[in-house]
Amino acid sequence: MANFVEHHVSHLMQGWDLIQRADSTGRLHGPLQSLSAPAKIVVAALLIVAVVASTHVWAILGIFVLTLTLALLSCRVVFDLMRIAWLGVFSFTGVMSLPALFLTRGPELLRVPIAGWTLTSTGLHIFLVLLLRAETAVTITLTVILTTPWPRLLAGLRTLKVPSLVVALIGATYRYVILLLESALDMMQSRRSRLVGPLAPRERRRLLISTGGVLFSKSAALSQEVHDAMISRGYRGETYVLGEQRNAPRDWIAMAAGALLSLAVAVLR
Amino acid sequence: MQTPLFAIDNVNFRYTDGKALDALSLTIEAGERVALLGANGSGKSTLLRVLDALLFPESGDVRFCGELLTEDAFSEDEFAYAFRKRVGFVFQNSDAQLFSTTVFDEVAFGPLQLRLGAGEVRRRVAQTLERFNISPLSDRAPHQLSGGEKRKVALASVLVLDPDVLLLDEPTAGLDPRSQTQLMDMLDEWQHSSADRCAKTIVTATHDLHTLEDMAGRCLVMERGRVIASGSPGEILSDRDLLERGNLVHAHRHRSRHTHPHPGLHRPQV
Ligand SMILES: Nc1ncnc2c1ncn2[C@@H]1O[C@H](COP(=O)(O)OP(=O)(O)OP(=O)(O)O)[C@@H](O)[C@H]1O
Ligand SMILES: [Mg+2]
């Protein structure tokens, strides 16, 4: 608890950093940035489905390495950002699928001395597949996000006939998160500049609670204001978006390659 | 006599506690440039929101060109679109006003909502960005802009619809002198672009006495939700008592122990 406030802040910072970078890495010139957003979304969706359907460790690993290579070729910094995500996924999926290691029957590999659990090769296989699937899916998703400017991504979803309400909702969430992060960071910074010396744990708790409360009412007021600003410019509950990007030949090639690859992964046993 | 553009009659409004507008009556004629002055919390922003039909009074009438502004009236698409097209509002807080992911989309929002065709929207947005010298910002995310740039984009996103009436909430607050000048230039450019200059009406809430004479032909001084004085900028600026009462100037106590006000040099404490 003692370091909770700082922990909180550093998470906010990481999230903020990610959003900022996603905006700028998407505008670099790299192999993936040159593809249209709809093409990338389609390929990513196909690959994720294939990966989730596959039980072939090497096939999934192959997709993982391929995605990572393309992502690194498109921009270097993705590695730092992905590491954060990989760790998160590892601790979540890892823990969730840990029982599979021991509860699955099959050829025995190892016996845990005191508990009397046995590690089977089938269990190990299942564990690896579950973990790899999750890590690969996250890597694919992040790669698309980090190589596409945010508005392009939203427009890409529209092109793919995702309902405008859903896209508007995603856009609004993004906006809201940004406003929330901005006011959080502002508050933290102004508070930090006023703090002298470390705080007692009890003080910290109080601070955290009040920060959360203020942040909430602040962002509620702000979203009311955003809503007013939209109404004032003619918003009546329906969003209209400008039509988007056409696919170039290389986008079609990418989609065809993605489809073939996905099919190969899905049928490989 | 001509129908006034806005006619407010005996309007009361409260948020939760205390009256934000207290039996307020006033009229604004088409083509007027009106400044709303007054201390923090005197009700300027609330009045602008009532004029933009974002808030509806608990009692009293608000009329625009003779037509009552009520929630019922705004449930009709045709009326709402016509009003939103004619009246633009630039908010005090640019962060709230800028909600799109790029400057281009931000400026395109209004025209798209008013259902102009895609080609027309692109043309208008490009033209507006060009006109106000913000084309280089086109692909940037609004949250990455400086305060002055944000304000310019906010203004452009309203002017793109070429409204007849512009409601401005502290447009120059927090801007450096150069950005202030640029903002005023944008407003001039918009006003002069219209064939009939008198057709454009501006209502500005402001603390900035420097730009008062540029911005307004008539000033209304507000206090606790009421108008306590009105007059030309010259008359208001020469009334020291009034300015002090409206918290628009500080009286400074110097070591020599005589007190003298500095009009316009300070904004009231925020
Ligand atoms: N969203 C709100 N909820 C509750 N009370 C509010 C709200 N907005 C304003 N008020 C109150 O209404 C009164 C008038 O506020 P308003 O924002 O109109 O003042 P203002 O003249 O614009 O002040 P400023 O110069 O600080 O912008 C104030 O007493 C304020 O506390
Ligand atoms: Mg105000």
Domain CATH code at residue B84 = 3.40.50.300
Q: Is the pLDDT of residue B211 over 50?
A: yes
Strand duo B165-169 + B87-90: pairing: parallel
Residue B14 Cα, ligand 1 centroid: separation in angstroms?
Answer: 10
Crossing angle of helices A78-103 and A57-74, rounded to 10°: 170
ipTM of the complex: 0.85
Q: Is the pLDDT of residue B195 over 70?
A: no
Whether residue B7 contacts residue B32, with contact meaning beta carbons closer than 8 Å, is answered with no
The confidence band for A261, taking pLDDT boundaries of 50, 70 and 90, is very high
Alpha carbons B62 and B50: distance in angstroms, whole number: 8
The 8-class DSSP code of residue B136 comes to G
Q: Is residue B128 part of a domain?
A: yes
- In angstroms, the separation between the Cα of residue A105 and the nearest Cα of chain B is 52
Whether residue B208 contacts residue B197, with contact meaning beta carbons closer than 8 Å, is answered with no
CB contact under 8 Å between A23 and B144, yes or no, is: yes
Strand duo B59-64 + B6-14: pairing: antiparallel
Helix (H) and strand (E) counts in chain A: 9, 2
**Is the CB of B138 inside 8 Å of chain A's CB atoms?**
no
Three-state DSSP state, B171? coil
CB contact under 8 Å between A233 and B102, yes or no, is: no
Q: Is residue B64 part of a domain?
A: no
pTM score of the predicted model? 0.70
- Give how far Cα A239 sits from Cα of A144, A165, A262, B217, Å: 25, 7, 35, 38
**Is the CB of B151 inside 8 Å of chain A's CB atoms?**
no
Residues B122-154 pLDDT 10s: 999 999 999 888 999 988 878 778 888 999 999
Residues A114-167 pLDDT 10s: 666 777 888 888 888 889 999 999 999 989 988 887 767 877 887 888 887 787
CB contact under 8 Å between A222 and B112, yes or no, is: no
Which tokens in the block code for residue A53? 């359907």
Which residues have CB under 8 Å from B166's CB, separation 6+? Answer: B87, B88, B89, B90, B158, B159, B187, B190, B200, B201, B202, B203
When the pLDDT of each residue in chain A is averaged and rounded to a whole number, the result is: 78
H/E segment holding residue B194: none
Alpha carbons A262 and A45: distance in angstroms, whole number: 10
The confidence band for B268, taking pLDDT boundaries of 50, 70 and 90, is very low
CB contact under 8 Å between B91 and A241, yes or no, is: no
Residues B94-103 pLDDT 10s: 877 787 778 9
Q: Is residue B139 part of a domain?
A: yes
Residues A74-114 pLDDT 10s: 887 777 778 878 888 888 888 877 777 777 777 777 777 66
Which tokens in the block code for residue A261? 């690859």
H/E segment holding residue B39: none
Three-state DSSP state, A150? helix
Q: Where in the sequence is the domain holding B228, given as residue range(s)?
A: 30-45+77-263
Angle at B154 between CA A176 and CA A150, to 5 degrees: 45
Alpha carbons B198 and A134: distance in angstroms, whole number: 64
Q: Is residue B188 part of a domain?
A: yes
Q: Is residue B85 part of a domain?
A: yes
Q: B161: nearest CA in chain A? A: A233
Q: A178: nearest CA in chain B? A: B143
**B158 to chain A: which residues are within 8 Å by CB?**
233
H/E segment holding residue A104: none
pLDDT > 90: what percent of chain A?
19
Which tokens in the block code for residue A207? 């601070």
Residue B184 Cα, ligand 1 centroid: separation in angstroms?
Answer: 26
The alpha carbon dihedral of B160, B161, B167, B169 has a sign of negative
Q: B89: nearest CA in chain A? A: A232
Burial string for B87-113 (b: 16+ CB within 10 Å, else e) reads bbbbbbbbbbbbbbbbbbbbbbbbbbb
Angle at B250 between CA B247 and CA B251, to 5 degrees: 125
Residue B261 Cα, ligand 2 centroid: separation in angstroms?
Answer: 24
Which residues have CB under 8 Å from B137's CB, separation 6+? Answer: B103, B129, B145, B149, B153
Q: Is residue B12 part of a domain?
A: no
- Indicate which of A232, A238, A241, A242 best probes the interface with B, i.e. most B CBs within 10 Å of its own CB: A232
Residues A194-252 pLDDT 10s: 665 666 777 766 766 776 777 767 777 777 788 889 889 988 766 666 655 677 888 89
- What is the identity of the amino acid at A118? T
Size of chain B, expressed as the number of residues it contains: 270
**Is the CB of B163 inside 8 Å of chain A's CB atoms?**
no
pLDDT > 70: what percent of chain A?
72
Q: Is residue B256 part of a domain?
A: yes
Residue B189 backbone phi and psi in degrees, to 5? -55, -45
Three-state DSSP state, A235? coil
If one counts the domains in chain B, the total is 1
Residues B233-264 pLDDT 10s: 989 888 888 888 777 776 555 455 555 455 44
**Is the CB of A241 inside 8 Å of chain B's CB atoms?**
yes
Whether residue B261 contacts residue B250, with contact meaning beta carbons closer than 8 Å, is answered with yes
Closest CA to B221 of B202, B245, B238, B240: B245
The preferred substitution site among B24, B45, B226, B247 for testing ligand 1, maximizing ligand atoms within 8 Å of CB, is B45
Higher pLDDT, B92 or A169: B92
- Rounded mean pLDDT, A31-38: 87
Q: Is residue B132 part of a domain?
A: yes
- Using a 10 angstrom Cβ sphere, with 0-12 exposed, 13-18 middle and 19 or more buried, the burial of residue A133 is buried
- In angstroms, the separation between the Cα of residue A31 and the nearest Cα of chain B is 20
